[in-house]
Amino acid sequence: MAAVMEDEVFKVFTTHATVVLVKLLLMGPLTAFYRFSRGAFANEEDVALKPAEERKKMLRTHPDVERVRRCHQNDLETVVPFVLVGLLYTLTGPELSSAQLCFRLFTGARLFHTVSYVVALPQPCRALSWMLGMGVNFFMAYRVLQTVLVL
């Protein structure tokens, strides 16, 4: 394991994977912040300590909460594959410059995607950042298959 941790490509991957995973982890607390600040809760037990008339008003959806939830869902659909495919890509021994470009593009795209989603920047901001991240994932998957494909 120590030898892998000395590999420059693996270090770069680990750095970027950690950044996007921490960003993914922060989406839960961000959702909670929006739920509390907008007074919009999904479950009866979340508002159980409130008076009955207040409970009914708080059990609702709110566009801001739903926006953050959709952003979180999108992270799950792209960050998890990035970590898995990126690890396999790292194990194929790519050139450091190519790997850095892939990892930087993906990380930048996901950070910009989150900002454009939560702040509601006009399209095509969010769509382009999503496509860039997906493109990186598909490129790495292609390179992995190209390297190890055995039929």
What does CATH list as the number for 2-26+61-148?
Answer: 1.20.120.550
* Spatial distance between the Cα atoms of 73 and 67, rounded to a whole number of angstroms: 10
pLDDT band with cut points at 50, 70 and 90 for residue 4: low
Characterize 114-143 residue by residue with b for buried, 16 or more Cβ atoms within 10 angstroms of its Cβ, and e for exposed. bebbbeeeeeebbeebbebbbebbebbbeb
* Spatial distance between the Cα atoms of 51 and 26, rounded to a whole number of angstroms: 31
Q: pLDDT digit string (tens) for 71-88?
A: 999 999 999 999 999 999
* Spatial distance between the Cα atoms of 110 and 63, rounded to a whole number of angstroms: 21
- Identify the top-confidence range among 4-13, 39-48, 51-60: 4-13
Domain extents for the chain?
2-26+61-148
Q: Where are the alpha helices (DSSP H) in 39-93?
A: 52-58, 63-91
Q: Can you give the pTM of this predicted structure? A: 0.90
